[in-house]
Amino acid sequence: MSLVKLNIKGISYSQTQNGAYALILNEEGGERKLPIVIGAFEAQSIAIALEKEIKPPRPLTHDLFKNFSDRFGIVVKQVIIHKLVDGVFYSSIICEREGLEEIIDARTSDAIALALRFKAPIFTYKAILEKAGIYLKSAPSKKKKISKKEETILEELILGEDAESKPPKAQDFSKYTLKELNEMLDESVSNEDYERAAQLRDEISKRS
């Protein structure tokens, strides 16, 4: 199975659901996006890692793991999002120590937070991207600067505002038809509400 490299586009949050965040991954060399719903703590940890100039006064959990790994000569080589079951993504961390490679199971949010700290690439399988990726049709444009909205989200997460560790609430889409779900998905993508788009995508995937 062929692997596709992913890059982090940013973090989005729902305007209607408290504590719900979506990590947006971009297909390298393509236009598909892979939104993954994550918790507030993991979103904060990823946001801090993205802002390279920000250093927390005390190590966060993922920073501690990085320091521990460095001390014992463990290197994270890559992260692979290898499975999608009922809307849940499963990931593996590929580590190396003294020439020996190990594969460790991890939550995708944790795996990506560590990949950022180790500067390790993130991959998924082509089949997963085809199943769960959201394809955006957009005209070619100049390199986009980070939006004010994205800056606000990162700032709030880094400062710990609105970052209570509450599990995201899933909306009930069971009463909608597949046609309605696909229309709602298109609308959510247009509005850049990736957290809702991810939930709609998962509901459509369950029925397929």
Give the tokens for residue 95. Answer: 């580590």
Specify whether the backbone of 193 is left (phi greater than 0), alpha (psi in -120 to 50) or beta. Answer: beta
Q: Which fold has domain 3-159?
A: Bifunctional nuclease domain (3.10.690)
The H or E element containing residue 202 is helix 194-207
CB atoms within 10 A of CB 139: 4
Which residue in the block uniquely carries the two structure tokens 């889409």? 173
pLDDT band for position 161 (50/70/90)?
very low
Residue 190: pLDDT over 80: no
pTM: predicted TM-score of the whole model, two decimal places: 0.72
Q: Which residues contact 159 (CB under 8 A, 6 or more apart)?
A: none
Q: Is the pLDDT of residue 19 over 80?
A: no
For β-strands 122-125 and 75-85, DSSP reports them as parallel
pLDDT-derived band of residue 192, with 50, 70 and 90 as boundaries? low
Residue bearing the bigger pLDDT, 54 or 123: 123
Asked if residue 134 has pLDDT above 70, the reply is yes
- Residues with Cβ within 8 Å of 29's Cβ and at least 6 positions away in sequence, in order, are none
**Least confident stretch, 4-8, 10-14, 48-52:** 10-14
Q: Are 104 and 171 in contact (CB under 8 A)?
A: no
Q: Is 60 exposed, middle or buried (0-12, 13-18, 19+ CB in 10 A)?
A: middle
Q: 75 and 97 in contact (C-beta within 8 Å)?
A: yes
What mean pLDDT is predicted for residues 17-36? 83
Among residues of the chain, what percentage have pLDDT more than 90? 36
Nearest CA to 87 among 195, 164, 6?
195
pLDDT digits (tens, 9 = 90+) for 141-150: 444 444 444 4
List the end-to-end C-alpha distance of the chain, in Å, as a whole number. 22
- Count CA atoms closer than 13 A to 93's CA, side-chain side: 26
Instruction: Average the pLDDT over 169-189 and give the result.
Output: 80
Q: What is the pLDDT of residues 104-120, one digit of tens each?
A: 999 999 999 999 999 99
pLDDT of residue 25 exceeding 90, the answer is: yes
